[in-house]
Amino acid sequence: MAKSDNLLAILWLLREGNKITAKQIAEQLEMNVRTVYRYMETLSMSGVPIVAETGVKGGYTLLNHFVDAPLYFDQQERSALYHAAVFAEKAGYYGSTSLENAILKINRHSKVEETDVLQLPINALEVAHEHMPLTVSAARNLSLIESAILKRFIIEITYRRPNAEKAEKRKVDPYKIVYWKSAWYVTGHCHLRNAIRNFRVNRIEQLTVTEDLFLQPESSKESDLFLTELLPSSETKESKKMDLVIRGSETAIEELSRHWYLKNCIKQHEWQEIVFLIEPSVLETYIPGLLITYGTAVQVISPPDAKQLIVERLLELAAFHSQT
């Protein structure tokens, strides 16, 4: 075991509350007694309040006021935690209060000079991302959803879809909370639709956690659930799909190959050319606008209809912006 692991193991033994000798620690952790003495000295120097009693009934104990503390994070680990906190804040993380408390604990149990050193890499990081602020109700709902997921409780929500006049009541088995494109979603099984659905949290008007339990299917892959409704359907007949052949710069082709949707449609990928197998509806509604953003870095080779759609979209934009 690494030194930090041994130190933590000794601390856990001490936290059990019973007096323990160096010999007992050595036997449980399979190490030399002298090594235990060195680790005890290291713990004491780190600020752990260890009481050592000599004699026949002697041993080691912890002071009663000792509380959990992140004593064993090295500088790089603590720096990583601070960076993670910055990312979470920029994403509008709903557990921001708990996160702030965790950072305060790290600061409280760090030496002054260590805190000053940590501030340097923190100041060197800037996350250029802005999010829509979470409302109080959305933050509350996210916390309730997380609790329901952990306890496997069904939730009842009043949900208003985009442009809908009336909200609908749904029963949902919540599987996972997803943060995607600056918005929070809950993914789960909708009882009304009897299918996997994604619900945007800021569109939930009311939420109640029931006491009814649900069983998550063993075959479901949680990491893929969110995209179930968004990705191309595997049931679509191949004969109805079309080859979209795009040629362009290496950078542009590589970026297209990593696109959240198109990466699931790749049929062939070469250095400066890529072929996607996509549905006609996607080609007509989504592809022209996407490819226009790449300017002259990409060019549609086939089908000809795709080229024409891009030209038509550009003419529409030109006409719109020419208006006075």
CATH architecture of 3-62: Orthogonal Bundle (1.10)
pLDDT, residue 223, reads 47
Residues 6+ apart with CB under 8 A from 296: none
Q: What pTM value is reported for the model?
A: 0.60
Residues 6+ apart with CB under 8 A from 63: 49, 51
pLDDT, residue 240, reads 81
Could you read off the pLDDT of 123-168 as tens digits, one per residue? 777 777 777 778 889 999 999 999 999 999 999 999 998 888 899 9
pLDDT, residue 88, reads 84
Q: Write phi, then psi, for 220 (nearest 5 degrees).
A: -75, 140
Could you read off the pLDDT of 201-226 as tens digits, one per residue? 999 999 999 999 998 776 655 545 66
Q: Where are the domains of the chain?
A: 3-62, 75-123, 136-225, 238-322
pLDDT, residue 252, reads 94
pLDDT, residue 225, reads 63
Identify the CATH number of the domain defined by range 238-322: 3.30.70
Q: At what angle do helices 3-15 and 22-29 cross, to 10 degrees?
A: 120
The segments of the chain whose pLDDT lies below 70 read: 1-2, 64-74, 108-122, 218-239, 324
What single letter denotes the amino acid at residue 39? Y
Are 3-62 and 238-322 in the same CATH fold? Answer: no
Output the CA–CA distances (angstroms, integers) from residue 130 to 81, 88, 127, 198, 233, in the order listed.
20, 11, 9, 23, 33
pLDDT, residue 70, reads 46
Fold of 136-225: SH3 type barrels. (2.30.30)
